[in-house]
Amino acid sequence: MTGVQAGTTLDRLPVRRLLRRSDFRRLLATRLLSQFGDGVFQAALAGTVLFNPERAADPLGVAAGFAVLLLPYSLVGPFAGVWLDRWSRRQVLVAANAVRAVLVAVVAALIAGGVAGLPFYLAGLAVFSVNRFVLAALSAALPHTTAEPDLVSANALSTTSGAVSTVAGGGAALLLLGPMGTGDTSYAGIAVGSAVPYLLAAAVAVRFGRAQLGPDAAARSARLRSRDVLVGMLAGARHVWARPRAAAALEALSVHRFCYGLLTLMTLLLYRNTFPPVGGVFRGGLAGLGEVIGAGAVGTLLAALATPAVVRRLGVRRWVVLLLAGGGVAQLALTLPFAAPTVVAAALLLGCVAQGVKICVDTTVQEEVDDDFRGRVFSVYDTLFNVLFVAALLVGAVLLPASGISVSLLVAVAVLYLLAAARFWSRWGG
C-alpha cells in the first residue's frame, strides 16, 4: 500500500481507534517519557554551551560542538540498524533508557565540575549515541502496534506528540532555571533531572513481551558478525534505492534537514548575540529561544492535525511539495526582517513543514520497506538526518557572521527548498 492509498482511509481511522490498542498506548507512553527526558537534557546542554555566563561560544565553536556530538554518533546508526533487526526491540528500549539515565548523571557531574572540551563532548556523545537506539527502535516497532492502514495517523500522533513532549521537557527545564539561576551548578541539576523520565520510559517498555515489537524469529536467530554492520547498512541503502518512493522521501527529508541546520545556527546566533535579552514577549537570550521552540511545537501540532486530512485530499506527493516550496518562500519572507517576532513566526511555519514532511516520510518508509529491513533503513535515515544537519552547521559557521544576519544565506535556503520540491515531484511519480 502506498502513502497515498493509506491517506484515503484516514477519515475512518480517528485517533481514538489507535488509542484503544493497549500496545500502541504503551509504545506511545514510552516515546513521550523518553522524549520528555530528551527535552530536559537538551535544555541543560544548550544552556551550558550557549547561554552560560561562565562559558563562551562563537559560530564555529557552536558548529564544532554539534559536529563532535552528532557526527561520531551518526556512526552508531549502522550498528543500531543491524542490531535492531536481530535484537528484541523491547529489550533495546528498556536497556537503552536505563543506560541513558546513568550517562546523564555523568554529564551532570562534568557540568558541575566546570569540565569543558573533549571529556564533556565525549560524555554528551555517549548520551546521544544511546538515544539513536531508542528513536530507531520506536520507529521500527510502531508497525507492530497498529494496522498498516493506520500508519499515517499513528505516525502523526506518535512523532508529533513526541516532539511536543521534547519541547515540554525543555520548557520544564527553563521554568526550573528561573528560581535556580544560570551557571554550571544549575545546568548540572537540570541535566541529572532528565534521568527520571528515562527510567520511567524503561519501566513502561518492560511491560511488552520480549518478541512483541519484532523483529521476526528468523531475523532474531541470525548470528551477528562484525562485517554484518557494513553489509547491513549497504543492504538497507539498496533496499531503499530499489523503492523509488521511499528513496524520494528520504531525499526530500535530507534536503530539509540541511536547510534546518542552517536556520538553526542562524537562530541561535540571533538570540545569543543580536536580540536584546530583556524586554516583553519577544526578546533574546535563552528565554527568547524558548519562545522559538514553543512556536515550533505549535507548528508541529498544526502539521499533525492537518496532515492526515490533507493527505487524504491531495495525496502525499502534492502535500510534501506544497510544504517544501511554501516553507522555503515563507522562511525567506518571515526571517528576512531579522526581528524576534518574525523569527518566532518563521519557527512556527518551520515546525509545520518539518513535521508534515516527517509524517509523510516515516509512513512511506514504513509502508515501502520490509520489516526485516526496517531497522537498517531507519539507520540510513538517521545517519542522513544527522550528517546533513552537521554539514549545514559547519557551512553556516563559515558563512554566517557572529550576529547571525545573512540575507544571502536565507535566499540560498529558499532556493534549496524549491529544488527539493521539484525533485520530489519528479521522483515520486503519478
Q: Which pLDDT tens digit goes with each residue over 102-111?
A: 999 999 999 9
Residue 394 above 70 pLDDT?
Answer: yes
| Model pLDDT, residue 123 | 87
| Model pLDDT, residue 409 | 95
| Model pLDDT, residue 305 | 85
CA pair distance 324, 329, nearest whole angstrom: 9
Structural domains in the chain (count): 1
State whether the Cα torsion 421-424-429-430 is positive or negative. negative
Q: Which pLDDT tens digit goes with each residue over 50-96?
A: 765 555 566 776 777 677 667 666 666 566 666 777 788 899 999 99
CA pair distance 222, 228, nearest whole angstrom: 10
- Residue whose grid cell is 538570540: 271
Q: 354, 260, 337, 351: which is closest to 297 by C-alpha?
A: 351
Residue 6 above 60 pLDDT?
Answer: no
| Model pLDDT, residue 262 | 94
Query: What residue spans of 206-243 are helical by DSSP H?
Result: 217-221, 227-241
| Model pLDDT, residue 231 | 75
Residue 49 in any domain: the answer is yes
Q: Answer yes or no: are the C-beta atoms of 244 and 427 closer than 8 Å.
A: yes
| Model pLDDT, residue 255 | 93
| Model pLDDT, residue 226 | 54
Residue 360 in any domain: the answer is yes
The three cell numbers locating residue 387: 550528517
- Residue whose grid cell is 535556580: 180
Q: 340, 47, 49, 34: which is closest to 175 by C-alpha?
A: 47
For 298, residues 6+ apart whose C-beta sits below 8 A from its C-beta are: 348, 351
Give, in order, the Cα–Cα distances in Å from 176 to each of 191, 214, 295. 11, 39, 20
CA angle 264/269/275 to nearest 5° reads: 120
Task: Tell me the mean pLDDT in the region 125-143.
Answer: 85
228 alpha carbon, distance to own chain's centre = 27
Q: Answer yes or no: are the C-beta atoms of 209 and 46 closer than 8 Å.
A: no
Residue 222 in any domain: the answer is no
306-317 per-residue burial string, b: 16 or more CB within 10 A, e: under 16: bbbebbbeebbb
For 181, residues 6+ apart whose C-beta sits below 8 A from its C-beta are: none
Q: Answer yes or no: are the C-beta atoms of 324 and 417 closer than 8 Å.
A: yes
161-165, 242-246, 275-279, 401-405: lowest mean pLDDT where? 275-279
CA angle 310/311/313 to nearest 5° reads: 65
DSSP 3-state of 152: helix
Residue 390 above 70 pLDDT?
Answer: yes
Give, in order, the Cα–Cα distances in Å from 296 to each of 164, 299, 392. 9, 5, 19
- 71 exposed, middle or buried (CB, 10 Å; 0-12, 13-18, 19+)? middle
Peptide bond into 119 cis (omega under 30): no
Q: 227, 136, 169, 171: which is closest to 37 by C-alpha?
A: 169
CA pair distance 129, 124, nearest whole angstrom: 9
Q: What's the CATH number where 181 sits?
A: 1.20.1250.20
**Per-residue three-class SS string for 158-214:** HHHHHHHHHHHHHHHHHHHHHHHCCCHHHHHHHHHHCHHHHHHHHHHHCCCCCCCCC
Q: Which pLDDT tens digit goes with each residue over 175-203?
A: 887 667 667 888 899 999 999 999 999 99
Residue 412 in any domain: the answer is yes
R_g (Cα) of the chain, nearest Å? 21
| Model pLDDT, residue 277 | 74
Average pLDDT score over the chain: 83
| Model pLDDT, residue 46 | 77
Q: Domain limits at 414? A: 3-217+227-428
Largest CA distance in the chain: 61
- Residue whose grid cell is 515550533: 296
Task: Tell me the mean pLDDT in the region 143-151.
Answer: 83
Residue 323 above 70 pLDDT?
Answer: yes
**Which pLDDT band, with edges at 50, 70 and 90, does 377 fall under?**
confident
| Backbone dihedral region for residue 51 (phi beyond 0: left; psi -120 to 50: alpha; all else: beta) | alpha
Q: 400, 279, 266: which is closest to 338 by C-alpha?
A: 266
